[in-house]
Amino acid sequence: MIKLACNSKVTLIIVLFFCFSSTYGQTYGRNGMVVSDNELASQVGVTILKKGGNAIDAAVATAFALAVVHPQAGNIGGGGFIVYINGSGASTTIDFREKAPLQATPDMFLDKNGELIQGSNHEGLKSVGVPGTVAGLFMAHQKYGELPWKELVQPSVELAKNGFSLSWTLASHARRMQDNSTPGFMKDFFKNPEGDLVEFGETWVQPALAQTLERIRDKGRDGFYEGKVAREIEKFMKENGGIITRKDLKAYTAIERAPIKGTYKEYEIYSMPPPSSGGVALIEMMNIMELANLDSIQFNSTAYVHLVAETMRRAFADRAEFLGDPDFNPEMPLAKLTSKEFAQKRYQNIDFERASVSDSTRFGQLYDGTNTTHLSVIDKNGSAVSLTYTLEYSYGSKLGAPKLGFIFNNEMGDFNPQPGTTTSSGLIGTPPNTISPGKRMLSSMTPTIVAKEGKPYLVIGSPGGRTIINTVFQTVLNVLEYEMPLHRAIEAMKIHHQWLPDRLIYETDLLSPDTQKALEEMGHTLYGAGNLGRLMGIIHSRDQGIYIGVSDSSSPDGAAVGY
């Protein structure tokens, strides 16, 4: 019936509604939804759902597909996090964050005077953390998946082997990467077997990546961490100055952890615990906002922006002081930081007339790059997956073994590189996140699921380095407090404050000149930015029995696909 309507030329509105089930940037589905940074990847996920796969199956398949079609952040050479709640309300998380190699040392990025060699922690093979993605996706599937593993990896093998039409975005990256500053691996990355650069709309094939994915398809985790792929990683590292060995790869394990939980009014929030700082900071900020009388504060007003910025400032100071890899910081006060009493303490010292001053003798941190990717999935039983993973920078280290066809992360840059040195420009040297062999670097990724009466209601996440925590926070607040429809919550103005450097970043087009002036008079240092966040979300509207998916309009190739 739907097909008939689509073929009719007269019923344009019906066509739009049924063929795309999408209006005002929102896509509707009855049985399931996948939202990701690439439409082909979202379609792979929905195909898995239609085959009877659950949300975990679809998320795993979508993540592998993103490693092929969204290589700037989709990956098998990086790491990330999954938050999962099944339709009955049971929740868990999978931590597949990269680890420092066994030969890593706290001072590996310092010169002989103990100063950070600028950029060294993000460049070259020493910036590569031991990848976690394949182990994490495999663990998620082993524990919670339903379809056979091979069926989840096969679509990505095909996308790599048979190729797909190169998008305008990837074609423009490919062209930009032809200058002399680009490592050879990346310069050749978008070339066809004849050695020519693939252009927009032409088919791009990745035969080496297809072979690596075939090994993962056939051997699971061991197809990456043992055997031929592991040997080739070790060889490439040895020959090019890297320190990851087969021992590192063999020792890598993903870890299942209990989610960080909080509440906001009648809603329950589930997010990622350390080694991500995202969940703790999100819940601390939501608790602070719950104390404010938001009924009397107009959205986007000076009072609103000031309150939100001061809340962020406090949460980011606590992030820097307390958070790191839990396996190396067993004493982290997570229960305290996410408690309502602690929020009271933080809320009480906000001055509603003046900006506080971030004190560089306390804590702070640098910005990260701006490429990571988030996907949200929900299946017919209401089970939901929120998955964020990354290579850190766009195309990570821009290095990889040509025979393997995938890109290595540069995640070592997320450690505090110069122990003991914290500066007002944002360098941070606090102990919980200094480098140790086998340690996971602190992350800001904030894959989140909000539940109502125990069942998933909102599935959300974003890329954006440290801005992730704040863009997810504001989107959740927009939905829960300001009752915005999801597309408006995602598109609404976002701000970012991260304690140090002490500045309030705002989306230039969206904050009025009067508000800017008033904020400056209160003592804020403003800093305009084009866009903050690239959110991928799903709402489960139980009353109407539908899923509503939204891919942020700032994602050029992103799409929500429902069925």
> Which residues sit at the interface with ligand DON, rule CB under 6 A?
368-372, 390, 392, 411, 414, 443-445, 463-465, 468
Return the number of the residue (139 or 281) whose C-beta is nearest ligand DON: 281
Question: Alpha-carbon distance 42 to 80, whole Å?
Answer: 18
Return the number of the residue (192 or 370) whose C-beta is nearest ligand DON: 370
Return the number of the residue (33 or 469) whose C-beta is nearest ligand DON: 469
Is 372 a known active-site residue? yes
CB 198 to ligand DON: min, Å: 25
Answer whether 537's CB lies under 8 Å from 550's CB: yes
CB 299 to ligand DON: min, Å: 25
CB 47 to ligand DON: min, Å: 27
Helix axes 149-162, 133-144, angle to 10 degrees: 140
Q: Please tell me which residue in 27, 133, 338, 372 is annotated as part of the active site.
A: 372
Return the number of the residue (481 or 557) whose C-beta is nearest ligand DON: 557
Helix axes 302-322, 513-521, angle to 10 degrees: 60
Question: Alpha-carbon distance 134 to 43, whole Å?
Answer: 21
The SS3 assignment for 50 reads helix
Question: Alpha-carbon distance 194 to 531, whole Å?
Answer: 38
Return the number of the residue (75 or 372) whose C-beta is nearest ligand DON: 372
CB 78 to ligand DON: min, Å: 9
Q: Which runs of consecutive H residues, i.e. helices, occur in 262-411? A: 278-291, 302-322, 334-337, 340-348
Phi and psi of 420, rounded to 5°? 90, -10
CB 391 to ligand DON: min, Å: 8
Residue 443 CA neighbour count, 13 Å, CB half: 34
Answer whether 400's CB lies under 8 Å from 407's CB: yes
Beta strands in 113-171 (DSSP E): 164-165
CB 223 to ligand DON: min, Å: 25
- Give the Cβ contact number of residue 297 at 10 Å: 18
Q: In sequence order, what DSSP letters do the residues of 52-70 get, joined into one string?
A: T--HHHHHHHHHHHHHHH-
Return the number of the residue (177 or 197) whose C-beta is nearest ligand DON: 177
Residues pairing with 547 in the sheet: 29, 540
Answer whether 115's CB lies under 8 Å from 412's CB: no
Residue-level length of the chain: 563
Question: Alpha-carbon distance 48 to 147, whole Å?
Answer: 8
Q: Which helix (H) or strand (E) holds 42?
A: helix 39-50
Return the number of the residue (28 or 389) whose C-beta is nearest ligand DON: 389
CB 190 to ligand DON: min, Å: 21
Residues designated as active site: 372
